[in-house]
Every structure is written in structure tokens, then in C-alpha cells.
Amino acid sequence: MYNLLIDIVTNNIPENFIGFINRSLDEKIRKEFKKLQLVYSNIDLDTIKDHFFIYITNIKNPGYTLEDYENVINKAIDSINFKYKYDSENLSFRESILYIKIFNEKENKTIEFKGLKEDKDDSLVNSSTFNNFSSELRKNQIILKKEERLQSFEKSANKLARANGCSIINNKSILNEYANKFDYPVSVEGSFDEKYLCIDKSILYTVLMENFTVLPMEFDNGNSSNFFVYAKNKSSEDSHILIKEINDKLEEINNLINQKSDRKLEDFVEDLKTVNYINNYGNFYDKTQRLIKISIELCKMLSVSNETVDSVKRIAFLCKADKATEIVQKCPYLHGLIGKLYAKSDGEDTIVYDGVYEHIKPRFLSENIPNSTAARIVAISDKMEYVMSYIISSSDDNFKYNYKLRKTITSVISIILRSELDFNLSNFITKILYVFLQDKGIVDYEYFEKSIKEIILDVYRDECIKLGYDFDEVDVINYNNLNIFKLNRLLTNLHDINTKNNGKLMIQILKMLEVNSSECKYTPMELDTNNLCNLLEKLANCSDEDLPYYKLIFKGVFKKIN
């Protein structure tokens, strides 16, 4: 057995495309290794600065050469065919590669793309074997694996917090940013002036995390502390400027809160006519009117109570109003929080003032979804309205790769799955488009319908693969009926039964899709949620002559993989 390390060195790649490239490389390499029948323990992909590292452990096939792996990498690179802009230039991934190095324990191979400068003094470039390379990484204070970088930072951060009688406010989005940004992240403690602890805790934490990307510390009794922690590279200097910047920002916010207008939140709704919406696509008043209509349509689809409908209408009407306040215009990341403070002081119902804030959730992986059904309906409607507005108003054909857009869709999927909301997203998209058709008179209805469905499915596929589902398991499912809740339940059952049967279920499904169902001699039973698992289990272990029978049962559920 041996290990393999592939280092793809690049330049000019926008940060928001790195995740897509990593996932595309991962998928294509795994598929090519499957064709080669390569047996290995694990494959890890990671990115540090301009290096894309691919680390394959415990390879059991001795016959493959570095040239064989070079062919695999070239195929993977060629499969990444989207373009991105860098300094007004459209580039592909291949055009951004400087060189590739492939290492095992005995030898290495360098593949030049743009050529190496002869005077380049880089110990990583000049490493001759896998072991040399690993040693140079350590000397250069680089932790290769992202998980190890995360663990290293969290361990030192928690130690600092405990020394102050505190714990760290966990924000996975910030932790991931640290692990992606720093080669060897270490934790640094900072503190702001205690006088700012008078600021509402939710506002205080949002300022620290959203504006300064630092993690607040909280006392064990739940009270705020003035301590925080942030990451830096082991070899870099501490940032003393940061503490002054935080104190200055908190002073500004404290003054704005103390100068809070006596107007009610609903009084700001009319002012939204002067607040531009995304890509100058109208204003936030227009958006609010669309949001109310879209939210009501989702209420009908979910058959909620009249009381919930009333709460939904009120939340949808008020939730964007704080965009017109001075404090949110100066600190946009406080949107929702300021609205909640206004709505609460205005005497709105709890479900309404909580919903005004919670409709923006979840903003990052570890954040909870909204608590009430009303807030969840407005949150989904708001995010879907944003996605449609962005696609309609975007002049960029690469909107499919827009980080914020994909993050918004991930939030929609998260709310649907964690709330177990059983509705057809395709039908909801049709209703959203009709609202836009009435409001804006959109021209290419079919194009936008197709575009929004494609990006939702692409994001859902991405999330499933991140969770550990096999590419073929995800791709064999027919997504014509876009009910995310039911589709996810099908995928989960398929994955569990396929794993239990050592991959046999997928083999049977692919064979089943090739047979002629007209050869079935029996009347098939009807597939429903109660017998799904049982029938999948039987399919995994059935004889070849019974496959036509199961093809009729699972008609429309699965599709051939391209």
C-alpha cells in the first residue's frame, strides 16, 4: 500500500469559485478511480492559498504509474468547464493552473502549464517525494488537512475561553473561513471596552461576528463578556488595530441605538420606496408587496390555519421595514434585529416580532431555523423571492456559481428538511413566477422557470454529496417532482439500504432500468411511504427475472445515469 499527494498550484481564482472547483475535482477523480478499479482508504481534497491538494491514502493497486494519475487529473480538470472573471478576463480552471506535482513515497512528477520561474526558491516545489513534501509542509508551518486546522484552532480557542470562565459562541461559518484562510490557524484573545456590554446581546454578537469575523466569548451563566477570540497564522503578528476598530464601531452603534426614532416599524414601510433592491431591481417596497403575495401562496399550499395566515401577512409586511432605518443603512448586517426591537416596542405579538428577526435565518450552517411556522413560511418566501429577483436582474450568465445565491437556496432547503414541510417546490416556483409576471411583466417565463429549478437541484445535489451520499445514489433519482422533503427521504432510505447491502441496491437499480417492464407477469403493488423501505430492501436482493416487476413499481422514481 502507498499514499499519493497531488498538488495543483494556481493563480487568479476568485475565492467564491474555490468550493465549486474542489467539489468538481472530487467527483471526477472518484469516478475515474472507479473506472480504474482503484482500491484506497480515503481521498481528501483541500485548498491552502493557491494550492489545491488531493491526498489519497492506502492505495492497494501497485500497477499504476504517476502517468496514469496524471491522465486522471487532466480529465478532472477538463471536466471543469465553467468560466470566471478575474481582472475583467474570463478564465477557465485549466487557464489558472501554473503547474501540478504528483508525489508518492518514492518519486514525483511535475506537469508544467504556464512554466516555473527558474529563480523560484520554493522548498515545496523542489520536494522530491511524498515524505519530503510532508516534511516541508511542517517546516513551513502548514497544516495540510482542513479538519486538523479546525481542531488546532478550536483547541487553543477553547483553552483561552476557559481561562476567562467563558465558552466560545460557535459559528461554523467563521470557523470554516479560518480553516480556509490560514495555513496554521492559532487563536488570539482580544477584548473591547466593558461599557459596550449594555448593547443588546444579539446585536453585540452580530456586530462581532458579521462585521469583524471574530468569535465572542460568553460567561457560563449566559451573560455576555467583553472577550472575543480570532484566528491568525502562526507566523504572523497580532492585530492590535482590530480592537480599536471594534470599539469605534460599538460606540457608533450604541449612539445610533440611543437615538432610536419614536416612529413605529410600520411607518418605515413607505420609506422602503427609496431603498434600492438587488441589482437595482426596483426597491424594497416592491419586494415587500411581492413577498406578501408569495407568502400567502405558500400558506395555501401548506393548508395552515387562519391565525397563522394573519401572522404571516404581518411578518411579511414588516420584516423589511428596518432597511429604511439609519442604523441598518449604516450597519446592514443588523437587518432583522433592529426590526425586532422596533416591533417589540410597538406592541406587536411575540410571533410577529420574533418572525421579523427570524425570517433571515439560517444565515450559516450552525444557526437554528425560525421557530414558528409563520416565520418559516416568510423565510422560505423571502429567500425564494430573492433568488428569482437575482436571476431575473442578473447580467451574469454565471449566476449558478454565485456564492450568496447558492447559500440562500441552501437555507431554503435546510428549512424545508428540518421542518419536514411536504410541498411541491415546482408548483411553488410557478406561483412565484406568476407574482413576478403580474408585477414586472417578465418576458422569458420558461427560461426563468428552468433556471431556478436547475440551480435548486444543483445546490441540493451539492449538499447531499457534502453529507456523504454517493454521486450515483444522488444522480439515479428522478427529480421531476421537486418535493424536497419526499426526495430527501427517498435518498436517505436508498443510501442506508445500499450501504447495508454493500452497494448491491445500486447495482440492482441500474440493472432494473435496463430491463423491459412489459415482460412482467404480475400486477405490481402501489409504492407509498409505508412500503418504500421494504420494497427497496426486496429490490436489493431480488432475482434478475423479478426486475421487470420492480421496474413497474418504481416507475418514474429512478432514471438512468448519464
430-433 long-range Cβ contacts below 8 angstroms, 24+ apart: 431/294, 431/297, 431/301, 432/294, 432/297, 432/384, 432/385, 432/388, 433/388
Which residues on adjacent β-strands are paired with residue 86?
89
Query: ∠440-441-446 over CA atoms, to 5°?
Result: 115
| Residue pLDDT, tens place only, 212-225 | 999 999 999 999 99
Mean pLDDT computed over 442-447:
77
Gap between the Cα atoms of 301 and 203, Å rounded: 35
480 has a pLDDT exceeding 90: no
Q: Which three cell numbers stand for residue 99?
A: 503547474
Contact 264, 346 (CB under 8 A): yes
Contact 189, 231 (CB under 8 A): no
Count of other CB atoms within 10 angstroms of residue 42: 8
521 has a pLDDT exceeding 90: no
Residue with grid cell 454565471, as numbered in its chain: 398
Q: Which three cell numbers stand for residue 10?
A: 494556481
- Nearest alpha carbon to residue 335 among 262, 275, 295: 275
DSSP-derived pairing of the beta strands 2-10 and 89-91: unpaired
443 has a pLDDT exceeding 80: no
Reduced to 3 states, what is the DSSP secondary structure of residue 336?
Answer: coil
Q: Which three cell numbers stand for residue 115?
A: 512554466
Gap between the Cα atoms of 73 and 285, Å rounded: 50
> What percent of the chain lies above the pLDDT cut of 90?
58
Q: Which domains does the chain have, with CATH numbers?
A: 2-140 (3.30.70), 146-258 (no CATH), 265-437 (1.10.3210), 472-554 (no CATH)
Mean pLDDT computed over 176-187:
86
| Residue pLDDT, tens place only, 345-363 | 999 999 999 999 999 999 8
Gap between the Cα atoms of 157 and 151, Å rounded: 10
Gap between the Cα atoms of 457 and 413, Å rounded: 10
DSSP conformational letter for 211: I
Q: What's residue 529's pLDDT?
A: 79
Judge if pTM exceeds 0.85: yes
Query: ∠146-465-489 over CA atoms, to 5°?
Result: 135
Gap between the Cα atoms of 265 and 342, Å rounded: 6
Side chain identity at residue 158, one-letter code: N
Q: What's residue 119's pLDDT?
A: 41
Q: Could you tell me the strand order of the sheet in which 224-233 lies?
A: 166-168, 215-219, 224-233, 185-191
Gap between the Cα atoms of 560 and 476, Å rounded: 6
| Residue pLDDT, tens place only, 91-139 | 889 989 999 989 888 888 888 886 554 444 455 555 556 667 767 776 7
